[in-house]
Amino acid sequence: MPKPFRRRVLRRRAGTATVAALATGAVIAAAVVGVQWLGRGTTAQPANHPTTAPHVNGAFAIARHDGIYEVQPDGSGLRKVTDCPLPDCDGTHSPAWSPDGSKIVFAALPKEGGAGEGLFVIGADGSGLARLTDCAPPGCGEDWDPAWSPDGSKIVFTRLGKGPLDQATIELYVVNADGSGLGRLADLPGYAETPAWSPDGGRIAFDLQDENGQRIEVIRADGSHRSVIFQEPPGSGPGAPAWSPDGSRIAFVMAGAEGNPDIFVMDADGSHVTRLTTDPSPDVDPIWSPDGSKIAFVRTGSGGKLFVMDADGGNPRLVVEDVLGMSWQALPER
């Protein structure tokens, strides 16, 4: 059974790096200057609980090889939030805003032969950088795709197990926002990745690949009651689900008739599938705007380009280039 490295490869190709071989050696833990450990004698407060008040669209957090940046939806105000926290860094990726817009969790990857893989959390103003997970050998190869629970208390993410690429595990893990309570979400068959927490906090959508092909599933947040919501013939590779703010729809990536990854949207039960993009370049990593009116995505091929379009696929426009991953900040309506 092939490994679902489709999304990771595309994300890396969005810049100039290629997927590095899995690193070996000791983990650089305390050697990362200025980075404290969550869950090891420190206390981090989870983000504020969500409210029923509407949200407005804040800034994008974008990942680049040298660190995490913030940029406004119109492409203005680009600023660096933090450098890559690893001394020998091959790039940051998978940024995700906390529900209250005050923090960003992201992944950092060392160059081949380096160490220190894991997830990190930082304040929106660039303060309080802290390590959240330690992806240490021999049991771990890389952590990526973090997603916050709506109340800000937990983070679900993808973990690549250590070993040859044709033997390593790819599973979903959950950790408390303070770095404690790390555990596997469920005993899932095959390779699971790209988790996304539902707005009501009760479910997690993800893509799963096993002997029956690749599909999008939903599981309860406690790891019980899995169900398939969308599966297509082999080769289409549906994945990277993203809930709309009201939980009624899911945007996702799937290969179109031409075999190229494009952005699609469907109802949360898997019905009414609609294709939104048809560009010759691969389109990946869809996310909804906090107000539900737009969908952002990364167009790869000649460098990662962050685009925003209407939720029905109309009026696509370029926001910024050199993007390895992004997240859209939700701000309370004033």
CB 198 within 8 A of CB 247: yes
pLDDT of residue 36: 42
50: nearest Cα among 148, 121, 203, 152: 152
CB 226 within 8 A of CB 205: no
- What is the value of pTM for the model shown? 0.85
pLDDT of residue 165: 59
For the chain, the distance separating the N- and C-terminal CA atoms, rounded to the nearest angstrom, is 50
Q: CA Rg, the chain, in Å?
A: 18
Rounded to whole angstroms, how far apart are CA atoms 215 and 320? 31
pLDDT of residue 115: 75
CB 119 within 8 A of CB 129: no
Summarize pLDDT for 139-185 with one digit per residue, the tens.
788 899 999 999 999 999 999 886 665 667 899 999 999 999 999 99
Q: Could you tell me where the DSSP H helices lie in the chain?
A: 6-13
38: nearest Cα among 144, 147, 155, 131: 131
What's the Cα-to-Cα distance from 126 to each of 29, 48, 61, 84, 104, rounded to whole Å?
A: 20, 19, 12, 12, 9
Summarize pLDDT for 208-259 with one digit per residue, the tens.
998 888 999 999 999 999 999 999 776 678 999 999 999 999 999 999 777 8
The CATH architecture assigned to 6-332 reads 6 Propeller (2.120)
Torsion angle of the four alpha carbons 207, 208, 213, 214, in this order, in degrees rounded to the nearest 10: 10
- Ranges of the chain whose pLDDT falls below 50: 1-37, 39-52
Tokens (6 digits) for 225 = 């009651």
CB burial string 237-264: b at 16+ within 10 A, e below:
bbbbbbbbbeeebbbbbbbeeeebbbbb
